[in-house]
Amino acid sequence: MAKRDYYEILGVDKNASKEEIKKAYRKLAMKFHPDRNQGDKEAEEKFKEGAEAYEVLSNDDKKARYDQFGHEGMRGGYEGQGFTDINDIFSHFSDIFSGSSIFDDFFGGGGQRGRSQRRGTGQPGSDLRVTLKLTLEEIAAGVTKKLKIKKLVTCDNCNGNGAEGGSSKTTCPVCHGTGEIKQVSRSVFGQFVNITTCNNCGGEGSVIDHPCRKCRGDGRVKDEVTIKIDVPAGVHEGSYMTIRGQGNAGKRNGRAGDIIVVFHEEPHKYFIRDENDIIYDLHISFPTAALGDEVEVPTLNGKAKLKIEPGTNAGKLLKMRGKGIKHLNHSGSGSQYVRINIEVPKKLSSKEKELLRELGKLPSIKNIPGTDEKHFFKRSR
């Protein structure tokens, strides 16, 4: 079963701070803590799942790797613990579970929750998702590609603030600069306060007197840009990398989104990929299979010599070490496997047929297991 996104598990944004990630994990751990859910297997699995997510996202190196390549990049020493024992979690995150710290945020010890959008800041830009086509040769060694994309960029006329030159912003008359609208309701159960983002200023707390004539107050315009993508060797079909802060510009100087580059592996004319190994079908003649020879075969790095041993059978796999695809997370490369196919001629001259008949009478050919009816029926009894 495919793993869930670590950010989704903890319920945080990918731009969340370490403290926000820690608080989110505390909240999840509190909800699914074994002491609160005794005998609940589903809660136990969610508790373990949360621990694995926190173990990756709280580690700078692992988090950076995960942000670029997702779960694909977590192989080869970068993966999360994958906790199987509850006690391992308590031991590994002793700073989280020591004393009563896990309860602080829920029973009086926590501060005010941070907001994803604060007064005075523009709205964040959206992410862009692009597909990058790669050949096996490019995947095998890694490659730097340039890609043209259309996106929203910061307006150069107003420098992204949305206001025409010389004009200024004024305090929003609806929310009075708070960026929020509070609605108080009362019932028999008490008083409730509902806080929503101000629609008039979009949560910024201020409004523009004279909008920029180029972007009409948005702070951004459409443009086509060229981005450079450094693709590491060994990526797989459907895996992705994230280029932080290169997506659509945020509204009125808000934080820019990301570009998510999804890799698409182009079918190859000669090779079949199996993880980091390559399979190539080599067609040889019967004399070559019987007598042996040194032949030239294509590889991802050009042509290479391959020795065919005498008496090589059809279907045999010959291994060429290091001729496959580089590993994504550690040194070394896979292998190229050459699968032997023996070609049988379909059109023969009379002389060729006669020669083959004579050849078939030789003891070394005639006595090959399975070449005569008597031997076949003897084996099938």
What span, in angstroms and rounded, lies between the C-alpha atoms of 174 and 181?
A: 8
Beta bridge partners of 152: 222
**Confidence bin at 218 (pLDDT 50/70/90):** confident
Per-residue pLDDT at 164 exceeds 80:
yes
Does residue 168 form part of some domain?
Answer: no
- Which of 119-128, 186-195, 210-219 has the least mean pLDDT? 186-195
| Model pTM score | 0.58
Confidence (pLDDT) at 166: 66
Per-residue pLDDT at 203 exceeds 50:
yes
- Judge if 127 and 263 occupy the same domain: yes
Per-residue pLDDT at 78 exceeds 80:
no
Does residue 205 form part of some domain?
Answer: no
Does residue 103 form part of some domain?
Answer: no
User: Which structural domain range is residue 138 located in?
Assistant: 122-160+220-267
CA distance between the termini of the chain: 45
- Judge if 17 and 54 occupy the same domain: yes
**Confidence bin at 37 (pLDDT 50/70/90):** confident
Per-residue pLDDT at 290 exceeds 90:
no
Report how far Cα 205 is from the mean position of its chain's Cα atoms. Answer: 38
User: 259-265 and 128-134: which strand pairing?
Assistant: parallel
- Judge if 148 and 252 occupy the same domain: yes
- Judge if 341 and 287 occupy the same domain: yes
Per-residue pLDDT at 31 exceeds 90:
no
Does residue 326 form part of some domain?
Answer: yes
- Judge if 150 and 239 occupy the same domain: yes
Confidence (pLDDT) at 117: 45
- Judge if 300 and 343 occupy the same domain: yes
Does residue 189 form part of some domain?
Answer: no
Confidence (pLDDT) at 116: 41
Strand, helix or coil at 265?
strand
Does residue 78 form part of some domain?
Answer: yes
- Which of 1-5, 162-166, 289-293 has the least mean pLDDT? 1-5
Confidence (pLDDT) at 75: 62
Residue 348: C-alpha distances to residues 345, 352, 357 (Å): 7, 6, 12
Helical H segments across the chain, by residue range: 6-10, 18-31, 41-57, 60-69, 86-92, 94-97, 101-104, 136-141, 286-291, 350-360, 363-366, 373-379
Does residue 373 form part of some domain?
Answer: no
- Judge if 141 and 261 occupy the same domain: yes
* Domain count within the chain: 3
CB 135 within 8 A of CB 266: yes
- Judge if 244 and 138 occupy the same domain: yes
Q: Who has greater pLDDT, 359 or 297?
A: 297
pLDDT tens digits for range 353-368: 888 787 777 776 655 5
**Confidence bin at 369 (pLDDT 50/70/90):** low
- CATH number for 15: 1.10.287.110
- Judge if 225 and 348 occupy the same domain: no
- Judge if 246 and 351 occupy the same domain: no
- Judge if 92 and 21 occupy the same domain: yes
**Confidence bin at 102 (pLDDT 50/70/90):** very low
What span, in angstroms and rounded, lies between the C-alpha atoms of 255 and 118?
A: 12
- Judge if 153 and 246 occupy the same domain: yes
Does residue 203 form part of some domain?
Answer: no
- CATH number for 299: 2.60.260.20
Confidence (pLDDT) at 169: 81
